[in-house]
């Protein structure tokens, strides 16, 4: 009976090396289908060939020695057509290529299936029979299903294999990797890993001193046991006995002879402690995963969990400030606000992330702090980068691992070019943001982090277009009190008075997680977030509204903005709570003043509620980040669909144009506070569409001002009208970038292309 492909995939998922995984694939496939030979050819992008990397039933020496050009043979045919072929006699196919090195003279039946990941061909799986007949339907279904299921795992291991091959090549590890440019700037420094590695990300290394490694392992096990005992004792008053027994079970696993003896044996055979732990844990987990009983199979995750706990202690836990590199490039799979804020600001030179996008909130944090950042580096095996020297170009989305002296000089030259541009922008410091034909465009700043220090820069700005209160909430372990919020808001309003300050109420949910409030949802961006969350928690919302009303007293420069508005009833409920907060404060004898009220347009349904909303609010602000996400049905943080996210998509441009027309028909102002406002090219487009003001991160403002001062309003209108006739985003990018180049703003084009 044919094996379940999911069971094979489980085994492959435990592999830490590409060769190990592919050997499992061919072995299990051959035995499951009772075929005569099975092999896997992987795409070697460096050579433009398919390399035979695993085989069963063929000449043994063929593995790692047989290469097929991309356009050759049945393997090349399957890859080029990205479809399965099933032949009774391979030699009859016009694409057949005789390969004597694998001994294919005796094989007739042939089946090939592509291994794909996100539309990219990774390799080809092949099954062959001596008998001259096609594979039956059951065999075809099994083989093609297995090939489809393996895509993600093989992609990860292939990236790791390719990376390590280059890292340890004769070029001494010099390696360029392209990601997503997220925050502008260039930096050179040393990598610091932000968090403990996943077990499978641990690189292979030899142990320079086996005794030292063994002691480190045993100390980590002991520390983990002490941690488990302490946790059990701490929770004994809150958990029933049957749940507390889980701690005992984990402690027993930590004392297991197999775990300890096998890890020590691997260390004695030359592995470093982390690698020895990895192999032991994965081997033990695989034993449980093969058991049919689901309860026993679930123990595999317990084993891996224990392995991660030991690993944390092996890696030495946290880092003290004295251990941070002078020029620190913080690296992680994902990075939270708390992880970023842990590194002293004077040492944090740059950030790289395996996940994330140009519109994630990690990116927004980096832009506010002025830290160069590259995200979306994918399956880069981050564990191999520990302590590596690295250069980061946040303008072009490029990182260079172990740069050569020549590379470092080139990156330093880019840093000098950045300083030249900054000096040019500084000359505009005291100049108004107005077009060549004298049309003023208010430019406000977005704030969220470091707003408590903005008073020293308040005179440089026209006001605050968006203060994100969620960052204040996210940086704490408890809810801020009303008085704590009042102090923050009052300081901000006083710093900018009499200039307007727009404060957005708590916008939790989606990718903005409150550390003290767990919200677990299958689809958080379409879930309990923004105004939905705060209306369901009036005790949280009222405290914030009271703090805002108190802070506005005597200043009256506050504008309150409500996020995630999708229907009129939400504004009605919100205004009712604000009235309640105001009445409470007056009754208590506290000074309070009602602010201007605004609604964010980021949910498509709000676009068609503008007339009704206008009766209730004083202004509108377009949140282009979420509006684009919802309009195009693209999760902006999902790397699989990141290529589909583009705020210059024709539909997005038309909707923004529609919003401006509808709002102006109601004689209300409309601004843009999304990242689109801080992009020189898209800001030019928004100017032409008729947006009344723009709000952006402080670091983006000089470039946008430079752009506005380089065009007439008439030119901007003409460009926007042309953009409204374009049918694809690539042509819109070209239109706007050409316009920037034509007026001598070519230095801004690169950042525009990458960040849109």
Q: What is the mean pLDDT of residues 149-154?
A: 86
Range with lowest mean pLDDT among 7-16, 140-149, 354-363, 565-574: 354-363
pLDDT, residue 237, reads 63
Cβ atoms of 694 and 685 within 8 Å: the answer is no
Q: What is the mean pLDDT of residues 125-141?
A: 93
pTM of the model: 0.71
pLDDT, residue 181, reads 82
Q: What is the mean pLDDT of residues 412-419?
A: 82
Beta-strand (E) ranges in 602-664?
Answer: 619-622
Q: What is the mean pLDDT of residues 70-74?
A: 88
Neighbours of 591 (CB within 10 A): 11
Q: How many CA atoms lie within 13 A of 194 on its CB side?
A: 21
Which of 566, 546, 544, 578 lies closest to 467 in space, CA to CA?
Answer: 544
pLDDT, residue 514, reads 74
User: Which helix (H) or strand (E) element contains residue 39?
Assistant: strand 37-44
Give the whole-angstrom CA distance, residue 396 versus residue 418: 13
Q: Is 313 a catalytic residue?
A: no
Q: Which of 180-189, 419-428, 561-570 holds the top average pLDDT? A: 561-570
Q: In what order do the strands lie in the sheet with 398-401?
A: 175-178, 398-401, 389-393, 186-193, 328-332, 348-353, 373-375, 180-183
- pLDDT(530) > 50: yes
Sorting pLDDT into bands at 50, 70 and 90, what band is 127? very high
- pLDDT(522) > 50: yes
Cβ atoms of 75 and 126 within 8 Å: the answer is yes
pLDDT, residue 756, reads 35
Percentage of residues in the chain having pLDDT higher than 90: 47
In the structure encoding, which two tokens stand for residue 729, read together?
């985003």
**Cα 419 off chain centre by:** 28
Identify the active-site residue in 309, 366, 673, 733: 673
Sorting pLDDT into bands at 50, 70 and 90, what band is 266? very high
Give the whole-angstrom CA distance, residue 503 versus residue 491: 13
Angle 731-359-499 (CA atoms, 0-180°, nearest 5)?
100
Give the whole-angstrom CA distance, residue 598 versus residue 620: 5
Residues 6+ apart with CB under 8 A from 608: none
pLDDT digits (tens, 9 = 90+) for 690-704: 999 999 988 888 889
- pLDDT(321) > 50: no
Sorting pLDDT into bands at 50, 70 and 90, what band is 318? very low
CATH class of the region 5-165 = alpha beta
The domain 199-314 is classified under which CATH number: 3.20.20.80, 3.90.45.10, 1.20.1250.20, 1.10.274.10? 1.10.274.10
Sorting pLDDT into bands at 50, 70 and 90, what band is 755? very low
Sorting pLDDT into bands at 50, 70 and 90, what band is 490? very high
SS3 694: strand
- pLDDT(286) > 60: yes
- pLDDT(234) > 80: no
Identify the active-site residue in 361, 649, 657, 733: 361
pLDDT digits (tens, 9 = 90+) for 471-485: 888 777 788 999 999
Sorting pLDDT into bands at 50, 70 and 90, what band is 644? confident
Residue spans of the domains in the chain: they are: 5-165, 168-196+319-421, 199-314, 428-755
In the structure encoding, which two tokens stand for residue 676, read together?
């689109």
Whether the bond into 345 is cis, omega within 30 of 0: no
Q: Which residues of 283-299 are buried (b: 16+ CB within 10 A; e: fewer)?
A: ebbbebbeeeeeeeeeb
Which of 748, 626, 183, 700 lies closest to 446 in space, CA to CA?
Answer: 700
Cβ atoms of 329 and 392 within 8 Å: the answer is yes
CATH number of the domain located at residue range(s) 428-755 in this protein: 3.20.20.60
Cβ atoms of 227 and 251 within 8 Å: the answer is no
- Strand 619-622 versus strand 596-601 pairing type: parallel
pLDDT digits (tens, 9 = 90+) for 708-730: 999 999 999 999 999 999 999 99
Which of 532, 536, 600 lies closest to 562 in space, CA to CA?
Answer: 600
Q: What is the mean pLDDT of residues 80-97?
A: 93
- pLDDT(180) > 60: yes
SS3 493: helix
Q: Which of 226-235, 457-466, 597-606 holds the top average pLDDT? A: 597-606
Angle 416-365-344 (CA atoms, 0-180°, nearest 5)?
75
Q: Is 649 a catalytic residue?
A: no
In the structure encoding, which two tokens stand for residue 17, read together?
């090396």
- pLDDT(506) > 80: yes
Residue that wins the pLDDT comparison between 640 and 428: 428
pLDDT digits (tens, 9 = 90+) for 664-679: 999 999 999 988 999 9
Average pLDDT of every residue of the chain? 85
HEC string of 64-97 equals CCCEEECCCHHHHHHHHHCCCEEECCHHHCCCCC
Topology classification of domain 168-196+319-421: Glucose Oxidase; domain 1 (3.50.30)
pLDDT, residue 319, reads 46
pLDDT, residue 337, reads 62
């Amino acid at each position: 009976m044919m094996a379940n492909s999911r069971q094979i995939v489980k085994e492959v998922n435990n592999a830490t090396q590409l060769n190990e995984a592919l050997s499992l694939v061919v072995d299990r496939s051959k035995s499951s289908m009772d075929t005569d030979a099975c092999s896997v050819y992987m795409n070697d992008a460096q050579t433009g060939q398919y390399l035979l990397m695993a085989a069963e039933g063929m000449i043994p020496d063929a593995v790692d020695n047989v290469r097929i050009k991309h356009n050759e043979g049945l393997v090349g045919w399957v890859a080029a057509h990205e479809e399965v072929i099933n032949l009774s006699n391979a030699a009859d196919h016009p694409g057949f290529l005789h390969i004597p090195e694998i001994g294919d003279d005796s094989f007739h039946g042939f089946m090939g299936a592509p291994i794909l990941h996100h539309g990219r061909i990774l390799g080809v799986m092949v099954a062959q029979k001596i008998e001259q007949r096609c594979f039956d339907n059951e065999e075809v279904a099994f083989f093609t299903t297995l090939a489809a299921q393996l895509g993600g795992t093989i992609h990860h291991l292939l990236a790791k294999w390719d990376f390590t091959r280059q890292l340890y090549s004769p070029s001494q590890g010099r390696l360029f990797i392209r990601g997503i440019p997220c925050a502008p700037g260039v930096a050179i420094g040393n990598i610091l890993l932000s968090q403990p590695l996943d077990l499978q990300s641990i690189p292979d290394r030899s142990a320079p001193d086996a005794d030292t490694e063994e002691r480190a392992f045993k100390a980590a096990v002991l520390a983990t046991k002490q941690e488990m005992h302490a946790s059990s004792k701490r929770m004994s008053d809150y958990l029933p006995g049957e749940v507390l027994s889980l701690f005992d079970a984990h402690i027993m696993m930590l004392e297991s002879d197999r775990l300890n003896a096998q890890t020590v044996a691997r260390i004695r055979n030359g592995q470093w402690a982390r690698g020895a732990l990895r192999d032991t844990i994965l081997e033990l987990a695989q034993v449980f995963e093969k058991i049919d009983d689901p309860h026993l199979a679930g123990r595999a995750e317990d084993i891996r969990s224990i392995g991660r706990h030991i690993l944390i202690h092996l890696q030495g836990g946290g880092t003290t400030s004295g251990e941070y590199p002078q020029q620190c490039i913080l690296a992680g799979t994902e990075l939270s606000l708390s992880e970023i804020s842990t590194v002293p600001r004077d040492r944090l030179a740059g950030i790289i992330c395996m996940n994330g996008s140009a519109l994630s909130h990690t990116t927004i944090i980096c832009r506010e702090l002025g830290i160069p950042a590259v995200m979306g580096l994918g399956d880069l095996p981050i564990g191999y980068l520990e302590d590596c020297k690295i250069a980061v170009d946040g303008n072009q989305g490029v990182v260079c691992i172990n740069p050569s002296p020549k590379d470092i000089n080139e990156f330093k030259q880019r840093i000098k070019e950045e300083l030249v541009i900054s000096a040019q922008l500084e000359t505009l410091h005291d100049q108004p943001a107005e077009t060549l034909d004298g049309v003023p465009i208010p430019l406000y700043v977005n704030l969220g982090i470091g707003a408590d220090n903005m008073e020293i820069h308040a005179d440089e700005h026209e006001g605050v277009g968006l203060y994100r209160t969620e960052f204040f909430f996210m940086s704490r372990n408890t809810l801020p009190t009303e008085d704590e919020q009042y102090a923050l808001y009052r300081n901000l309003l006083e710093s900018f008075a009499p200039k307007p300050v727009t404060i957005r109420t708590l916008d939790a949910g989606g990718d903005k997680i409150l550390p003290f409030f767990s919200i677990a949802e299958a689809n958080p961006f379409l879930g309990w977030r923004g105004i939905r969350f705060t209306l369901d928690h009036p005790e949280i919302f009222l405290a914030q509204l009271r703090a805002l009303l108190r802070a506005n007293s005597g200043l009256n420069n506050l504008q309150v903005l409500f996020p995630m508005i999708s229907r009129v009833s939400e504004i009605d409920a919100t205004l009712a709570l604000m009235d309640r907060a105001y009445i409470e404060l007056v009754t208590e004898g506290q000074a309070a003043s009602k602010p201007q009220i605004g609604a964010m347009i980021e949910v498509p349904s709000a676009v068609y509620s503008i007339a009704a909303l206008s009766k209730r609010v004083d202004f509108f602000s377009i949140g282009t980040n979420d509006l684009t996400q919802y309009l195009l049905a693209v999760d902006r943080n999902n790397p699989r669909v990141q290529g589909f996210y583009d705020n210059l998509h024709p539909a997005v441009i038309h909707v923004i144009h529609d919003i401006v027309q509808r709002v102006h028909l109601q004689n209300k102002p409309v601004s843009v506070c999304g990242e689109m406002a801080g992009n020189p090219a898209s800001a030019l487009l928004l100017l032409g569409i008729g947006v009344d003001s723009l709000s952006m991160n402080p670091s983006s403002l000089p470039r946008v001002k430079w752009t506005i001062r380089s065009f007439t309003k008439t030119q901007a209108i003409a460009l926007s009208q042309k953009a409204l006739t374009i049918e694809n985003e690539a042509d819109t990018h070209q239109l706007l970038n050409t316009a920037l180049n034509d007026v001598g703003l070519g230095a801004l084009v690169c950042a525009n292309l990458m960040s849109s």
